[in-house]
Structures are given as structure tokens and as C-alpha cells.
Amino acid sequence: MLKTTLALVFGATLASCSSDDAKAPAGPVETIDPFCASRPKLQFCEDFDTAELPSQFAEKTETAAKLQLDTRDPESPPRILFAEAYVGAPRAILSRTFDTPGKKFKLFFQAKKLGAAAPDQSVEIAALEYPAIAYRVSVELKNGLPTVFETVGGAAPKALSGVIPFPEDWVSFRFDIVFEEDGSGTATVRFGTEVAVEAPLMPPAEAASPTLSLGIAASKPGPAGWGYFFDNVTFQVE
């Protein structure tokens, strides 16, 4: 199984205070990965290990879907987020608006899929938007292939698709958005170290307070029985 090298795993210490304890066979050691506690000070970090939902996010949205904390096959124990799809057009999203305006955004998380959406379902898993000026950049997966969408005002979204499929196991997912001073911009999606999509953008002239969304949002109705696991989310605004 592919495991990211970003996780620092610590074995819990077993304390023994008597000779009887010392002679007793050692039991299983609970493994804990303090991902956020062990990282440098980040603007936003959520590993889903300590707080209940919506955790460090501000809002939780669920329609034909469920967001829940899970312990199955965690990328960094003990807990992960599971966004589970029900029959219909599932939408299970955590979101938060940040006070800091910026023109460079770095989103990192680890993800793993369980089952598969219908072949004609496109599933958004991350988005950044300026709600006040109706500007939005998102990344969607359809049949495992990523597409970056950019929406400006009421215009139809522009899309650029990649050819590198989403892996079958845990993967480090990077979604970087850069607005340049010359009015150009770029959105880059990476699966691990591979660039899956690099899309040109037409960013707004002024920076605004961004809203980050993470989870699943399907484009149309479909069957139940699939979803995505998420862990170790970090976000930086510059």
C-alpha cells in the first residue's frame, strides 16, 4: 500500500511501574500520528483526529450524502473524514471563508476513493471561490480523470482536463492556484509528485477573501455505495 512520507508516526509509550507489570506481555500499541501538531505553524491544518465536525472548517453541508469521522484504514491514525454518497446527486462539503485576501493559494490533503461514482457523474472534490465577485476555481473527477473548472461571473465555466487518473490508493493531492501581477494565472493539480492538470486562468483584478470547500459534490444523480476518504488538510493564503 502506498503510504505518504509526510506522515510522522509515533508509537504510544507504555509505562510500567512495577516488576509485575514489567513481566507482563506487552499489549498492542496504539499508533497516533499528530500530523497538525507536528508541523510548522500553518494558517490552516485539520487532521480530523481531535475535533468533531465541522472541525476547523466553519460549515458542513449534506444532501443525499453523509460526512462522518472514520477509523478504517487511516492514512494517519486515528481518524479520517469519510464523505459517503447516497442515491441521488450527493453533496457532502466542508467549507470555510478566510479573512486573508491573497493571490496564491496552496491546498494539500490526502485522499482515497471507495467504490466509484457513475460513469456520467462528475464529482467536485475541492474548490476555491471569491463569493463576493462570483469567481470560482474547482477540481472535479470523472471516471478518475481530473478537470479544472474556472467560472467568472455568470459565464459558462472553462474546463481543462488531465490524462493522469486518480490513484487507487491513498495519494497526496495538491491544488495550487497562482494569480500573477500581469493578470494571468495558473491552477495546478498534482497526484503525489505528478502534475495531473495545469490550467491557465483569468483571475480577478483584486484579491478578496477566499472560501475553501472540500468533500464531494456530484454533477447529477447516481447510485449509492461510493465515497472519498480525506485526511491531513492544509491550506495557505499568500
What is the C-alpha to C-alpha distance for residues 33 and 17, in angstroms, rounded to an integer?
Answer: 26
pLDDT for 5 beyond 80: no
Start-end of H helices in 82-218: none
| pLDDT given at position 26 | 42
pLDDT tens, 165-224?
A: 999 999 999 999 999 989 999 999 999 999 999 999 999 888 888 999 999 999 999 999
10-237 has CATH 1.10.3720.10 classification:
no
Q: Has residue 58 got a pLDDT over 70?
A: yes
pLDDT at position 33, please?
53
- When the pLDDT of each residue in the chain is averaged and rounded to a whole number, the result is 86
> Regarding predicted confidence, which is higher, 87 or 102?
87
Residue 2 clears pLDDT 70, i.e. is over it: no
Which residue ranges make up each domain of the chain?
10-237
For residues 148 and 59, give the distance between their C-alpha atoms in angstroms, rounded to a whole number.
24
CA dist 152 and 187 (Å) reads: 15
Averaged over 49-67, what is the pLDDT? 95
